[in-house]
Amino acid sequence: MPSETHIEIRDLRLAYGTREVLHGISLDIRRNEIFGVIGPAQSGKTSLLRCINRTIDFSPEASVAGTITVDGEDVRGAKDLYALRRKIGMVAPLPVGLPLSIYDNVAFAPRCAGMNRKADIDAIVEQCLRQAALWDEVKDRLDSLGTKLSGGQQQRLTIARALSHQPEILCLDEFSIAIDPVTTMRIEDVLKDLRKNMTIILVTNLTQQARRLADRTMFLWNGEIIELGPSDTIFGNSPRDRRTYEYVNGLFG
Encode pLDDT of 5-33 as tens digits.
999 999 999 999 999 999 999 999 999 99
C-alpha angle 113-118-124 in degrees, rounded to nearest 5: 65
Q: What are the residue boundaries of the structural domains of the chain, listed by start?
A: 5-248
Section 84-96 average pLDDT: 84
Neighbouring residues of 30: CB distance < 8 A, sequence distance ≥ 6: 1, 2, 3, 4, 5, 6, 199, 215, 216
Please report, rounded to a whole number, the percentage of residues in the chain having pLDDT higher than 70.
Answer: 98
Query: Are β-strands 88-91 and 169-173 bridged in parallel, bridged antiparallel, or unpaired?
Result: parallel
- What does the pLDDT look like over 66-82, one tens digit per residue? 999 999 999 988 888 88
Please report, rounded to a whole number, the percentage of residues in the chain having pLDDT higher than 90.
Answer: 68
- What is the rounded average pLDDT for all residues in the chain? 91
Of the options 3.40.50.150, 3.40.50.300, 3.90.1150.10, 3.30.420.280, the CATH number for the domain spanning 5-248: 3.40.50.300
**What pLDDT was estimated at residue 176?**
84
C-alpha angle 107-195-168 in degrees, rounded to nearest 5: 55
Q: Tell me the pTM.
A: 0.90
How far apart, in whole angstroms, are the C-alpha atoms of residue 51 and residue 115?
Answer: 29
**What pLDDT was estimated at residue 113?**
84
Say if CB 62 and CB 14 are below 8 A apart: yes
